[in-house]
Structure 1
Amino acid sequence: MDTSPPLAFVVDDEPAMLDIVTFALETQGFIYQSFRSAEALWQALRHTIPDLVVLDVMLPGVSGITMCRRIKASTQIPVILLTAKGESADRIAGLEAEADDYMVKPFHPRELALRAQRLVRRAPEQSQVIAAGPFELDPAGDCVCVGTARVLLTPNEFKVLTALVSQPGKSLGFDQLLLAGWRDADRLGGRQMLKTAVYRLRHKLESAVPGAGEHIESVRGTGYRLNV
């Protein structure tokens, strides 16, 4: 299991509010990156996938509601919306944007921290078995079943294989797999690190079930795909 601290992206154009939110998250063991605009957040999401986004609604330029819709259209990252407005219409807009939670300013930092912790913890409890071909990923996040064989994986190997099994037959790029496995597409030496992880993953699968490692195919100059 991955025991690294959860990463939160926090977006607010008010420095004082950023300080309040990030301090609250730190009390629950989060690490964080903070941003002053939705555009800056979106650029960061191209390179790193956080465990949580805490997003102010009233932002200059692109609004928090619009950004929440954009995030939810392409990811399953939990989103907490923050707003100074308490009208029901604004809460409905947040829910329609598929926000996971909604808090009205001023709020108690402890409540925000506990809600954030609940959202991050909820994901593994609600996870479902992901399967393709001979592979069935354990929701616990530490192994894959290949037929009757159970293969233990490192957290990074498990995340890379999850990305491949989730989209069988589709070529996934190096950056996409680095985001899946390490949440960072710009990591120094990342491509070689990914190749090493895939090599070890193939070896583990092949050792458990002859031929299993061959399902992970290299796509020349692009990345990898799962052929099932």
Structure 2
Amino acid sequence: MCAHEGKQYSNGSTFISQGSFRLKCVTFHNLTSTLEVLSCITPAGIEIPIGSQLEERDKVFECTSGNVTLKSSPGRSGKCRGVYNVQDEWVEDSFKLQCTPYGKVELKSCITKDGVEIPLGSAKRVPAGYALECVQIDGNVALRTAKTFDCETGAGEIKKFGETWNEGNFVRRCVNYGVSSIIGCYLDGVGSIGLNQNVTSGNLFYMCINQNDQFKFRTLKAQQ
């Protein structure tokens, strides 16, 4: 006989304990006895063999082997963090998250302080003029400046990193972080003029000025 929770059970008989396990009474020749766990029982009353799992409603139940326990985790339609439904999206700190099946939270994008959304693995230019990228590094996601990124001209054309072009009276180069840097001046019929250099052509004097990162192109009458 086996005693369990104030009741007696005969050898070979089975019963459900705590609503979660099916037990069996095993009596030996020396009249000692033990209770053997045969399976787990879900809240809906479905029996799960040891070492197996079953999806029931919005949860997955697993009957673990060894020290037998009944574990539960979110199912395909289970909520994330007990709050969000599958496909729901929300923002935490600088990241947009999405609830996916089985209660898994997936990071979709980074959000800049200006509210610009950058998908994971992508880069975008922010209002300040430089580019930021949303990247995964050693298992962690970071929002950082994008060192090599295309530049955009005033006319909306895209220029590759390292490319130079003329825009108005200035020569620009696409440098780190998607910034178009002024590297000189330009005038049709005269050509390029280096920063803080002057050129005389005919009776005109041209000045390409960089003063404390303030760029100016001036045309004066040449002194006779």
TM-score with structure 1 setting the length: 0.23
Looking at CA atoms only, which structure, 1 or 2, has the larger radius of gyration? 2
